Structure 1
């Protein structure tokens, strides 16, 4: 039996950009990651977008590389951190070969812990395409609960899909 992979969160390094660029341009999951229409992106445009996101979100966005046994496999982010109401949105993207192995769940658990313990947030929320049942299961394993559904809210690969809204409160995290 193979040992469990070691999942950690760490800062982005220049060596990670190839993996992160590949994830950002993956057409199969584009609509799950972005509200913008899919389109080809050059490496230069990707790096410019990284710089723009940093400017737009300033110090409020917190992104970590998902590291599995020393290799970059994805990214998790706290976006739109509201320091007054103490909440933020969670996002994650993993390389295809690392999906379905519990790595996303482990990364989300680590990010939730960071948000509640280190940033003193009281609520985290996210949204998922309803057909992405694997992601929804991973979020539930990390403690998120379904809070609502926006019917036919997203255009995904030629059809409208529901968006599932999920959240977790710090008090729920403590009980888990």
Structure 2
């Protein structure tokens, strides 16, 4: 899966330090529902099982890499995969200096194609905090529709934040 600028690939053991930095970025914790840092050992164990089939693990993580130098700049995830209902949640995390450069949009485009064509999913969904306009724009631009609001869903150091629920239904999936 690739565009002229990026490609997606499976996680490898060499991604340990990148994942350690990304997973321990406290700015991302509210959206990932994390409340504590992850150890390198926990991430090492994750990487050992990351190649497992999405049908077995009910999740899939792909690394977002820049074509020019193969540098990893983020991850895209399918989670809560439901094979019977052919749906999954989607998440994107980019390192700080890669945000706002279009990598997320390209990665999401590739993930959508993979989900619809290869996995033959019927729909994807995501949750976006209302104080994250970049993510709202990203998912809306990719054809996700806002289907609801959860009030006071995320607790932040500054108070409670609502989240928007988005959904993309693939019309060609049967």
TM-score range relative to shorter protein: 0.7 to 0.9
Give TM-score scaled by structure 1 length: 0.85
Q: Secondary structure at the match of 2:171?
A: helix
Q: Secondary structure at the match of 2:41?
A: helix
Structure 1 segment 122-137 matched on structure 2, within 5 A = 122-137=122-137
Unaligned runs of 5+ in 2: none
The aligned residue for residue 36 of structure 2 is 39
Q: Secondary structure at the match of 1:151?
A: strand
Structure 1 segment 61-140 matched on structure 2, within 5 A = 61-69=59-67, 70-140=70-140
The aligned residue for residue 153 of structure 2 is 153
Q: Secondary structure at the match of 1:107?
A: helix
Q: Secondary structure at the match of 1:171?
A: coil
Alpha carbons 1:74, 1:93 under 8 Å: kept: yes
* CA distance in structure 2 between the partners assigned to 1:105 and 1:172 by the alignment: 22
Give TM-score scaled by structure 2 length: 0.86
- Structure 1 pair 80–40 and aligned structure 2 pair: CA distance change class (3 A): closer
* CA distance in structure 1 between the partners assigned to 2:109 and 2:25 by the alignment: 24
The alpha carbon displacement at 1:52 in A equals: 8.0
* CA distance in structure 1 between the partners assigned to 2:99 and 2:42 by the alignment: 26
- Structure 1 pair 143–52 and aligned structure 2 pair: CA distance change class (3 A): same
- Structure 1 pair 10–50 and aligned structure 2 pair: CA distance change class (3 A): closer
Render the CA deviation track for 1:122-144: whole Å, top value 9, x for unaligned: 11000011101111111111111
Alpha carbons 1:63, 1:76 under 8 Å: kept: yes
**Greater CA drift, 42-51 or 159-168:** 42-51
* CA distance in structure 2 between the partners assigned to 1:40 and 1:120 by the alignment: 35
The alpha carbon displacement at 1:30 in A equals: 1.1
The alpha carbon displacement at 1:48 in A equals: 4.0
RMSD: 2.5
The alpha carbon displacement at 1:119 in A equals: 0.4
